[in-house]
Structure 1
């Protein structure tokens, strides 16, 4: 034990621990050691009490009734007081405290105790507690109780983060499963329907041929919608790793992949940003396609630098007010879909990067402004500066 260490040292240790690359389990184990050292006691335990029992999640106790994974009656532990009160409980000598005749004194044999609740997503997950078989010679101070409460809050945040990360992983797995079903189980029979419709078109004429042309058009539209849905499912996820991307180059590549007819593109951009190149290209493709499909013939599109990102403008008739407002509200999907899934994909690419989107539209045209973008040094400068 190192009870002589200055109090500030323990907080520094916790700060360094919180910012370390250790796993959640490793961090909690280290936090328990820091707490035992700070309080000069024998034992440290993180418990789970969510199901009414006392389950030991992590501890320095290696064997016996309170070893890791053991489950006992919560009502026979000191921690039940913490769970009931949702606040710290502490005493240096059980015999000299108001808990002198508590059942936990006889069952656990612990005479010194300090514990605090671990509250995860608003519910008591369990407790973090420190204890000893013998009374402590000095009283447990308010500062020490606050320290244990702080430990409980920090552990709760670590558990919450791990929980939410796991939930996100499961959601992504279900999403992958769903997109796999869409891609395979729907597209396969659809491809067969398209193929047989094309064969029938070659062998019919007149009124029946006209009906089949409508069927073929509908089937092709269904195939396109499935493709857009698959893209949309992927674009909404967090981008993760990014790379330096030249905006002008991506915009040019996107323009070449879109059927733009008599539309024209002007590039007034010389910025390199950190982004997922493939997703960024899809953003440009959908904005270009939207301008070409919903504006008059010969529409002019301009990509420009912005102090915090970039803009894409056109001189078309403007967007419906409801659609423009919805593009700035990620939860308003229905209004965005009024102009197809293309603009919804744009919105998902923006939010997937953690950027912000603003739309300014009028009869004179529409400007999409993407901000919150992290600029990157041009590639040729990176090697010089490295």
Structure 2
């Protein structure tokens, strides 16, 4: 990196103080220097000081050219080292400013203005937006107000210092505006005498000009080091502008995708518009691959008709290439890469392209892409590819979620239809079995009455077995009929006072309670949303089981209720024989019994019926039990709707 050095004068030398008339010099008066040899040292293009040598004794000979050259070399070396230290200090300070997480962008910018003003010896720093089509600037930030120069000022672009910097390959310097042909607006209206500025290209947005200026004349040219330092600050500003723009785009993307009031189509349209703005491209598409074609599902910024337009999926097609790649594909100028023979270029004049693959759970769905009829003079950035990938991921997620929901809905429909058929079958079977069973029971009773005297003990025993079997069959058919009618024959769910239901069931079981010397108590029970008749069956079965499986001691049963989140949990707890852990899931299976009929009577359907009723009420039922320690059956119910009485 080159450096412009200013050499004010060759080394100065004096053989003796008195001889050259320097006896009134402070150095002579204070230190008695009779000989002196020195050169000027520069730093940052300005005089820093001197490098000098002196002696109290007079020198009897002149300084040679070799000595002068050597001193000059030492001075140049010191100037170089001081300039290096100065440059390192400014770079370090700029890094500390730009990397400070506690500062906002505006605070960092003002700190850079201050640092640059010190580095360049210029009073004012500024940044302006460029509007080339309107031939104007808009001043965004300044380090301080200088006359009319302040944020919001809109000077012309052409003929100004900033106009010279706009489009230039590097920083532009102006030290003599009149001589250099810039004696217009900035010089006449604002009074700026010198200028150092650089053009910042902002992708998909308004370019900026970052500059420093002063109302004081500048007597020295800008150095390469100063140009480099300004360029570094401009690169940081460009990075920050890109980062802020990317963050705003991400925030907007989140707002769109998280809006529950928008449909998938509405979100897709807004994302395509957001992508068009983010990438500065004219058109956005969502395409679905169907066989050898791509169907246009959604478009923004194009005349292509949705749903009917087709694009051939031959091997050279842009979208065909995209769906075979794991990362987004971008082409700034299709003619430059030899894609001008592609159907999309020939048929639709798509001169540049940016697209990514979209999946739907079954594999490749198609692509989401953006394009323009003109080529693009700037490369797509990593941030562009990352943002497009986010759009593609969201579309893929929504399509996959939609497909899962459709599958689940189809599965639920099939399950619901299957359950209806099973219910119809169970109802028909249990209903149709009633008549022949009544006939069997009637004839068994006739046999018992007419031929009672003719039967011996063995015959009476056989007849008793047949009657008992018919009775048990009737109980099972009745239970199966009740089970099949839980969904179809239940009453509407409405506010129910569980205390009333409990007291009614306890009264129905009064004979069994007294006969077994049982104690059945309850805490305060809530009002819930339910079918009172079916909830009676739940309490009837659970309390009956608690009495039946009490063991050798008189049954003790307690019912309580606890509010958990948005539901009530009702628990029926006893101190009976309990249930082994590996058998606790079986007890809710229809007709599945843990004990023989000789041990305990019953149909084996009571708990299955309870589970079906609780599930109809939107709850769950479960048991916690230890053999010999009793059981606690719990089931959840929904509270009454707000305002229900």
TM over 0.5: yes
SS of the aligned residue for 1:90 comes to: strand
Superimposed CA distance per residue, residues 64-87 of structure 1 (whole angstroms, 9 cap, x where no aligned partner): 5x6324444333532223321233
**Matched residue, 2:501:** 253
Superimposed CA distance per residue, residues 44-95 of structure 1 (whole angstroms, 9 cap, x where no aligned partner): 222223756423322237765x632444433353222332123322232223
Q: Is the 8 A contact 2:555 2:575 kept in 1?
A: no
Give the whole-Å Cα distance in 2 for the aligned partners of 1:8 and 1:56: 30
Give the whole-Å Cα distance in 2 for the aligned partners of 1:142 and 1:78: 20
Higher relative contact order (CA 8 A, sep 6+): 1
**Matched residue, 2:480:** 225
Superimposed CA distance per residue, residues 84-109 of structure 1 (whole angstroms, 9 cap, x where no aligned partner): 12332223222345867766544653
What 5-or-longer segments of structure 1 have no aligned partner? Answer: 235-241
SS of the aligned residue for 1:87 comes to: coil
Give the whole-Å Cα distance in 1 for the aligned partners of 2:205 and 2:350: 20
Which among 504, 516, 523 is matched to residue 268 of structure 1? 523
User: 1:300 Cα shift?
Assistant: 0.7
User: 1:219 Cα shift?
Assistant: 5.0
Which among 300, 305, 309 is matched to residue 562 of structure 2? 305
Q: Which has the higher helix share?
A: 1
Give the whole-Å Cα distance in 2 for the aligned partners of 1:352 and 1:96: 68
Give the whole-Å Cα distance in 2 for the aligned partners of 1:291 and 1:338: 15
Which among 264, 269, 285 is matched to residue 45 of structure 1? 285
Output aligned runs, 1:131-280, within 5 Å.
Answer: 131-203=371-443, 204-206=446-448, 211=466, 214-215=469-470, 217-218=472-473, 220-225=475-480, 227-228=482-483, 231=486, 249-250=497-498, 252-253=500-501, 256=504, 260=509, 261-262=512-513, 264-268=519-523, 277-278=530-531
Superimposed CA distance per residue, residues 136-162 of structure 1 (whole angstroms, 9 cap, x where no aligned partner): 343222222222221222222322333
What 5-or-longer segments of structure 2 have no aligned partner? Answer: 1-203, 207-243, 449-461, 595-603
Q: Is the 8 A contact 1:183 1:226 kept in 2?
A: no
RMSD after superposition: 4.6
Which among 54, 61, 79 is matched to residue 319 of structure 2? 79
Give the number of aligned pairs.
Answer: 362
SS of the aligned residue for 1:95 comes to: coil
Which among 578, 584, 599 is matched to residue 318 of structure 1? 578
Which among 49, 60, 67 is matched to residue 306 of structure 2? 67
Q: Does 1:33 align with 2:273?
A: yes
Q: Is the 8 A contact 2:360 2:403 kept in 1?
A: no
User: How has the CA–CA distance of structure 1 residues 360 and 11 changed in structure 2, closer, same or farther, with 3 Å as cutoff?
Assistant: farther
